[in-house]
Amino acid sequence: MKYSILLLLLIAFLPISAQTKKVLFIGNSYTSYNNLPKMISDAAITTGDKLIYDSQSVGGYSLKAHSQNATVYSKMRSNTWDFVTIQAQSQEPSFGLNQVRTETFPYAKILADSIRSTNSCAKPLFYMTWGRKNGDPQNCQFVSWLCTYEGMDDSLASRYTYMANVNEGMISPVGRVWRYIRTNNPTIELYDTDGSHPSAAGSYIAMCAFYTTIFHKDPTAITFDYTVKAADAQIIRAAAKLIVFDSLSNWNVGKYDPKPNFSFTQSKDSIETTNSSTYSSNYTWTFGDGNSSNLQNPIHVYNSIGQFNLKLEAEQCGVKSSFSKTVDVTVLSKKDTTTVLTKEIGLNRKLVIAPNPAKNTIIIIGAYDSIDYTIYDIAGSVKIIGRLEDYNDAIDIADLSDGIYLIRLSNAHLSPQTHRIVKQ
């Protein structure tokens, strides 16, 4: 009894939405400083989540250098990553637009395309970094906005947002949380002594932003403070909630998830659907009368009068979303009772060959539109090829020798299916 009570208590306190995410971090010293990936992992443990990670972080690496590094692509292939982060050299996205168009944007695209070609379900996650403490005096003679932190920071935010948008990626807006803390809590030192790299508090900001975008969760639930003062860590978590979690759509979180949508045309009891879903690869339709289909654009016939909930569930990479409309059937069409009553075309609908065994002719029961057929002998040789234009038509098999054959049936709305027939 004691063990049962203890088990129930343990179950009661287990997190109900624990997640495991796999992330490859491609960056440089802003990623490796304070071991940012491990910080995110340690924070996730405190909320019941798990981060599986690897990183390729080389100090000073630009996006071009990453795109030409064989190790980057090897690591992309090494796991089924949920996210692959993309971080440029800390200054390069903030330079003049012509330079960035030539030296940065093309390589962001190469990396994002490579992420998807390696794993179509992996999402590029752009690491929006921050302006240097006093801007970039070395380059402000060439680009005026680099003379101040604010100017450099705004440029970085703009360029990372652009790269994420044109490459259909998400953003970890570390620089925006950094800006909020720097403005509202200036006593929290975010920089290391070089005025560029993050202090422990700076990396803690990055950790909170990444945790929130990766797990889509409120960072104030984190109880891991790293080496940051508890009060400062609490302030940073609250800032990450305000800037990131409360506005996830601003950072493209969910923007590229399945968006189901459709229209339909109706003639009496028959509907023909037009699927206009985006970011979707698999579909499940339910017609509200007990029938379903996995076709992209099914046709369906109802057998009774009434209102029916026509629902489309779109899915991609395990993420699902649904959309519904009402079908109002007020009139039934006259149906030929010698054929199948429902004309719903679906991947799972099986046709019937009759009679079977047969002597001279066979018909296809369950087909209401044209259908292609090929008859093979058991050795695989083609014996007859044809097309039925009407479900009342018969296939002439009188010239076939007695024996066992296979018939393959298909049309534009039906998955190919093969049946065994016997000629006698």
**Residue-wise pLDDT tens digits, 365-409:** 776 677 888 998 877 788 999 888 776 678 999 999 988 888 888
pLDDT at 391: 62
Sketch out the chain's domains with CATH numbers: 18-251 (3.40.50.1110), 262-329 (2.60.40.10), 352-423 (2.60.40.1930)
In degrees to the nearest 10, what's the CA dihedral of 278, 282, 285, 290? -160
Q: Is 370 helix (H, G, I), strand (E, B) or coil?
A: coil
What CA–CA distance (Å, rounded) separates 111 from 124? 8
* Mean pLDDT for all residues in the chain: 90
77 pLDDT band, cuts 50/70/90, is very high
The pTM of the full predicted model, rounded to 2 decimals, is 0.73
CB 136 within 8 A of CB 152: yes
The Cα-based distances of 249 to 89, 195, 217, 274 in angstroms read 26, 31, 13, 28
By the 10 Å C-beta count (0-12 exposed, 13-18 middle, 19+ buried), 173 is classed as buried
Site of tokens 């970890």? 172
Site of tokens 């790299």? 197
Site of tokens 């996205």? 93
What CA–CA distance (Å, rounded) separates 180 from 178? 5
DSSP state of 135: B
**pLDDT mean over 212-220:** 98
225 pLDDT band, cuts 50/70/90, is very high
CB atoms within 10 A of CB 335: 15
CB 56 within 8 A of CB 71: yes
**pLDDT mean over 171-184:** 98
What CA–CA distance (Å, rounded) separates 258 from 373? 36
**pLDDT mean over 251-261:** 95
Q: Determine what percent of the chain is predicted with pLDDT higher than 90.
A: 76
Q: What is the per-residue pLDDT across 346-372, written as a single tens digit (0 to 9) for each? A: 444 577 888 888 899 988 877 667 788
220 pLDDT band, cuts 50/70/90, is very high
Q: What is the per-residue pLDDT across 36-65, written as a single tens digit (0 to 9) for each? A: 999 999 999 999 999 999 999 999 999 999
pLDDT at 277: 95
Q: Determine what percent of the chain is predicted with pLDDT higher than 70.
A: 90
The Cα-based distances of 87 to 8, 69, 167, 376 in angstroms read 45, 14, 14, 58
Nearest CA among 405, 322, 398 for reference residue 359 = 398
**pLDDT mean over 164-185:** 98
pLDDT at 352: 81
What CA–CA distance (Å, rounded) separates 245 from 221? 12
pLDDT at 231: 98
**Amino acid letter, 132:** R
In degrees to the nearest 10, what's the CA dihedral of 277, 281, 282, 283? 10
What CA–CA distance (Å, rounded) separates 4 from 203? 43
What CA–CA distance (Å, rounded) separates 130 from 149? 8
